[in-house]
Amino acid sequence: MNAAELDALLRQFLVDGKLSDAERKALAKWLDTNVTSEQKRGVARSRVFAAARNAVADPNAAQVIDFLEDVLKVLLPMGGNATAPSSTAPDEAFFSPGDACLGRIVSRLNGAHRTADLCVFTITDDRISGAILAAHKRGVKVRILTDNDKAFDEGSDIQRFIDAGIPVVVDHTPAHMHHKFAILDRTRLLNGSYNWTRSASSVNQENIIDTGDPTLLASFQREFDSLWEKLS
């Protein structure tokens, strides 16, 4: 792992104290290429905290960063005998009609702690919308990509999300943003034919796959970030 290269990236990103979408994409790409084990992930995490400490002049702020790093070592341990993160849960497939797909989507949204990137053609099922709004209210960074063909149809909840302050990007191109996938905390991917509608659970033959496969997660995250930048 090229630690010096990571340090240079972090110094560049810390100039304005923010992580833009483009910088997030560059960091994810670097991690995909260089972090091939939990040990290396732990080293990379330590470099991030070191870069943050070096960027602050106030010793009290540096102490807070030390505290945060120590706490995260407990909350998000790397390896060892601690409980495995959700990314190590088994990959599963779910089918409709029935509540299996719906239940898994709502469960993953309810369990999100940090981020929820949702890329779905249409969202009209209030049971799912309620879980999205609840995640936003508890501080999860939610982003929604959707299509203009269904975004403002009767029953669509897109305007509810906008009114709640959730960032929403709508595809207004002649083609359709027809994806139906979600990335939760960058550790779980939900993907399949299942539209987030009542009919998808009650009458349609649909499917979703719930996976923590890191290669698929990285690919779908790149696609989401690319569409977000292109359609914004």
Helices 59-75 and 38-55: crossing angle in degrees, nearest 10, is: 160
Written as one letter, the residue type at 94 is F
pLDDT tens profile 81-134: 333 344 557 899 999 999 999 999 999 999 898 999 999 999 999 999 999 999
Query: What is the arithmetic mean of pLDDT over 198-209?
Result: 95
Does the structure show a pLDDT above 70 at 197?
A: yes
Query: Choosing from 137, 172, 176, 178, which is the catalytic residue?
Result: 178
Q: What is the pTM of this model?
A: 0.64
Q: Is 185 noted as a catalytic residue in this protein?
A: yes
Query: Choosing from 117, 185, 210, 225, which is the catalytic residue?
Result: 185
Give φ, ψ of 117 to 5 degrees. Answer: -100, 115
Q: Is 99 noted as a catalytic residue in this protein?
A: no
Give φ, ψ of 2 to 5 degrees. Answer: -85, 90
pLDDT for the residue numbered 79: 44
Neighbours of 105 (CB within 10 A): 28
Written as one letter, the residue type at 62 is A
Does the structure show a pLDDT above 70 at 39?
A: no
pLDDT for the residue numbered 49: 82
Q: Is 66 noted as a catalytic residue in this protein?
A: no
Query: Choosing from 157, 180, 210, 225, which is the catalytic residue?
Result: 180
Nearest to 221 by CA among 166, 168, 182, 175: 182
Q: What is the dihedral of CA 114, 186, 131, 190, to 10 degrees?
A: 180
Cα 169 to Cα 116: distance, rounded to the nearest angstrom:
14
Does the structure show a pLDDT above 90 at 34?
A: no
